[in-house]
Chains A and B, each alone.
Chain A
């Protein structure tokens, strides 16, 4: 019996050591893959091959691991940073805000040096001790960032930001939209952003309540409002696609996404809101607790805060930006973008931590999606 137990333990150890070999082999196979592409392609490839070789030397600061949204940062920007600092930047991408929060809170966040999240989570992330305090003296260019958009200064560096507003196709949309309540009119086909904490504030504002309400009866009312709203919704997500191909005639979406849709179809306009405030979300970088390449991460943050660098990035990704100097240095195309040509930019609210009330939001959100 004892022997059998021993054998089982031994076999277990074998499997585990196999797994360990697997993970230590990862670097090898990757660099092999990297050098393969380096050989196959031109200058850019050769460059990454070089940096890869440098990364293999084991110098801690020759490598930077970033977790963020896909299609949100210019490849050229990354390449320039790699050349300037003789390092390798490993980008991996999330498909949901929750992915980043899971990485930060479930553990294993220290495998990354920078993780992108948004302002709404900052308070809890700091309270939970999941993020490192930043030394802003090492990030001098961060002074370009407008303090209005900088929540939890000292723990994060804002990157780009998103107004969640209403755009419509002036050709096919049957009604004028001046407020959230106008979205309940018949004949609308809405493509809207998803998520409990994006949808409920809209309803709460429409009903005249605090968008970050913690009052259950108000949330219940908001749920009823959203049920009516839901009847007009054709899809959650995919706003640009649905607007440009005619599936939807109204969209509740981010200004950056609207910008692209407007370039494809010039009949798309920003709704002229009279008094309802709109949500502003700020995507920012935090340094997870235990990040290993702090110096390089600081250098990277400083780099993206450089006005000229960010200005170039904005050409490729025309989102709103909290970096005033960068916006000033941006191209005319960016400055005259119709997607950001609306008068109520100051009339915004931020998503705040609602604590335990989140469970109530989620219950109603699920009820909304399941339908009665």
Chain B
């Protein structure tokens, strides 16, 4: 009683993670982030199919970054994976987040993509915290909060016998 009196946000605006407003917002955040990547991926698929040749070229130009020779090496040697992988994984990551299925695994993939975009684009003219970094933080937030549990399929998947017997699967669900 005294807690509620001290917290004007209690009730319908409860900010606990299981509160209605928080659950609603986390779900919205997850779906919008998912749509962002789904749109980026599916438009590449429509325009270039599984031959997104700009992907390897982009990596080859990533010289002088903190990632050292890794992106350039990837661009030169993993073009067979990057060209189809970028549109395909962007699309799948987006779909997974929209549906809230395998959310943490998908968000981890999103973090990987956003690290490469943040470093590769290098748009640091107004500081390190730019749009790419905000995208990275969005995926981190989805991952940390286990956003698929909020109006997502992971809420159902986590109640299956398989997950009950293998609780560590929650590290890639949720």
Judge: A and B partners, yes or no: no
A positions within 8 Å CB-CB of B? none
B positions within 8 Å CB-CB of A? none
